């Protein structure tokens, strides 16, 4: 690489540091320049060029993933239909399946079902009822019980003005129903989301299951908008009391000092307003407030946050490229004897690093065993608590129901009602404890891995007398969750 090109790379890196404050177009221009410079370096830097190109593509599309979360029957599908302005999504009386539905902008209405074996099925129509029926075959428990059809995800294109602003709305299954595979399926893809609409209603007030779910969401979603639905069922005094109660719960469990904004809405009235063209009812429903807030957020904060993240990632890539270029250039100017001496010292340092890596691997295996032992103990405890609780329900049923013929039916009904809350609460507790212990263990290993990587970078810089700058970013080790249990007859 020529001195001029290397200097251009340095200038690009310096400009990148403040580019996120200058707007997306400036940052895109800088990323294009970086790609052009990397292309001149040949195939050796093809991976870095691809990574920069991927960042540019993400910045250009500027899509913001927003998941809609809440307990079963809180009105998530009705809320989304109100935002779309039509009854496109099934609003089932039984829970939706564990398949997420992604709604993004498109010039025409199109539903694409993507299966686990990668094949797809599509339905394109301007008939909303036809699309609704097509969706119901794949995203409801009635049409696709326990996802026996093997659907991975559903994508919906829709010409909504809100979606045109670069937001992708994600419809999720409701938590707290008897279909327990839904809750973990929802949590599973939260790391992919940039934010969440957390929906509750006043009938009943927020439950313990929702509180535990909220804690998990709060740790995973970068931005949460809180919505209280079905306020058209309350008078003014009841509405005020319900909102204040919800805000108090949020302050307590999210450990927030200041007020937490809550958007009171009636999604049912909002949908009616859109279907009948009643602008005044749209305002009364409260839907205009959440829509305006989302529009403002998408036009202001979203771009700034995305620009900052992209510039930081691109900067790390280019810093690594510059270090490699410095090493390559320095190695070409060193006398052969000095170069061999440097390589010998560097290889010795690599052997030391490999020894440290093997030691860390042994420690990791020990941590894994301790975590599994802890998990076994917690599962045993949960099992004992569940048996005691369910046995008590059976005993109370037998004691209070005089008709022998009714005991079986009543017991089944009470157990079906108790099991979701019992297991949701217990498994949230176990998962949070496991997450905490796992993160503590992984945090130590992450720091060891980062230290080993920096030893190599620092050694190379010192041996070849080139500038050294510690890496500003190190990828975190991610914990992935799979659906954990299902109910069967």
Selection from 95-104, 271-280, 358-367, 456-465 with the highest mean pLDDT: 271-280
Could you read off the pLDDT of 217-263 as tens digits, one per residue?
Answer: 777 666 789 999 988 888 888 888 888 888 888 888 887 777 788 99
Q: Provide the token pair at 58.
A: 């993400």
pTM: 0.57
User: Percent of the chain beyond pLDDT 90?
Assistant: 18
Selection from 11-20, 49-58, 367-376 with the highest mean pLDDT: 367-376
What crossing angle do the helices spanning 287-299 and 76-84 adopt, rounded to 10°? 70
> Looking up tokens 């428990």, which residue turns up?
141
Q: Provide the token pair at 472.
A: 């500003």
Measured CA to CA, the distance from residue 410 to residue 359 in angstroms comes to 58
For the ranges 114-128, 338-352, 475-489, the lowest mean pLDDT is seen at 475-489
> 488 pLDDT exceeds 50?
no
Q: What is the mean pLDDT of residues 208-221?
A: 76
The gap from C-alpha 175 to its chain's centroid, in whole angstroms, comes to 16
pLDDT value at residue 133: 92
pLDDT value at residue 175: 63
Return all residues near 180 (Cβ < 8 A) that are at least 6 apart: 420, 423, 424, 484, 485, 486, 487
Whether the CB-CB separation of 188 and 60 falls below 8 Å is answered with no
Return all residues near 200 (Cβ < 8 A) that are at least 6 apart: 70, 71, 74, 206, 210, 226, 227, 228, 229, 246
3-class DSSP assignment, residue 158: strand
Give 165-216 as a DSSP string: GTEEEEE-PPBSSS-THHHHHHHHTGGG-SEEEEEEESSSPPPHHHHHHHHH
Burial of 308 (C-beta count, 10 Å sphere; 0-12/13-18/19+): middle
Measured CA to CA, the distance from residue 214 to residue 30 in angstroms comes to 39
Could you read off the pLDDT of 196-205 as tens digits, one per residue?
Answer: 899 988 776 7
pLDDT value at residue 97: 55
pLDDT value at residue 156: 95
> 288 pLDDT exceeds 90?
yes
First-to-last C-alpha distance (Å) of the chain:
68
Q: What is the mean pLDDT of residues 383-387?
A: 87
- Return the biggest CA–CA distance within the chain: 98
Measured CA to CA, the distance from residue 200 to residue 418 in angstroms comes to 20
Name the band, by pLDDT with cuts 50, 70 and 90, for residue 281: very high
Selection from 94-103, 120-129, 358-367, 382-391 with the highest mean pLDDT: 120-129
Average pLDDT, the chain: 79
């Amino acid at each position: 690489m020529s001195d001029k090109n290397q200097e251009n790379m340095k200038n690009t890196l310096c400009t990148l540091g403040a580019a996120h404050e200058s707007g997306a177009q400036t940052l895109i221009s800088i990323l294009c320049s970086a790609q052009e410079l990397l292309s001149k370096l040949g195939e050796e830097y093809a991976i870095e060029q691809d990574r920069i190109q991927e960042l540019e593509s993400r910045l250009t599309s500027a899509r913001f993933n927003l998941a809609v979360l809440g307990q079963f029957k809180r009105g998530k599908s009705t809320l989304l239909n109100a935002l779309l302005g039509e009854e496109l999504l099934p609003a089932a009386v039984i829970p939706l399946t564990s398949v997420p539905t992604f709604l993004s902008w498109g010039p025409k209405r199109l539903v694409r079902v993507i299966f686990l074996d990668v094949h797809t099925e599509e339905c394109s129509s301007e008939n909303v009822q036809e699309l609704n029926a097509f969706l119901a075959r794949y995203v409801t428990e009635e049409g696709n019980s326990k996802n026996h059809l093997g659907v991975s995800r559903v994508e919906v294109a829709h010409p909504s003005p809100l979606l045109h602003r670069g937001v992708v709305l994600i419809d999720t299954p409701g938590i707290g129903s008897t279909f327990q595979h839904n809750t973990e399926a929802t949590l599973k893809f939260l790391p992919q989301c940039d934010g969440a609409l957390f929906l509750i209603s006043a009938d009943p007030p927020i439950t313990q299951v929702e509180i535990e779910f909220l804690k998990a969401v709060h740790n995973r979603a970068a931005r949460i908008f809180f919505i209280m639905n079905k306020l058209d069922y309350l008078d003014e005094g009841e509405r005020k009391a319900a909102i204040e109660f919800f805000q108090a719960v949020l302050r307590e469990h999210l450990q927030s000092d200041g007020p937490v904004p809550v958007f009171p809405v009636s999604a049912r009235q909002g949908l009616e307003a859109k279907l009948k063209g009643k602008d005044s009812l749209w305002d009364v429903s409260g839907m205009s407030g959440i829509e305006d807030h989302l529009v403002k957020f998408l036009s202001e904060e979203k771009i700034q946050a995305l620009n900052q993240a992209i510039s930081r990632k691109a900067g790390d890539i280019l810093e690594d490229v510059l270090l490699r270029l410095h090493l390559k250039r320095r190695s070409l100017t060193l006398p052969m004897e000095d170069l061999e001496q440097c390589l010998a010292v560097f290889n010795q340092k690599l052997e030391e690093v490999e020894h440290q890596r093997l030691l860390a691997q042994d420690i990791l295996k020990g941590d894994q065993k301790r975590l599994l032992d802890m998990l076994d103990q917690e599962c045993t405890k949960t099992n004992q608590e569940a048996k005691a609780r369910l046995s008590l329900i059976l005993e109370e049923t037998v004691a209070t129901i005089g008709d022998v013929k009714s005991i079986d039916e009543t017991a089944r009904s009470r157990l079906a009602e108790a099991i979701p809350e019992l297991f949701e609460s217990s498994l949230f507790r176990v998962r949070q404890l496991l997450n905490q212990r796992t993160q503590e263990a992984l945090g130590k290993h992450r720091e060891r891995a980062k230290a080993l990587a920096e030893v190599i970078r620092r050694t190379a810089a010192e041996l070849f007398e080139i500038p050294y700058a510690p890496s500003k970013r190190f990828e975190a080790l991610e914990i992935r969750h799979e659906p954990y249990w299902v109910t069967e007859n």
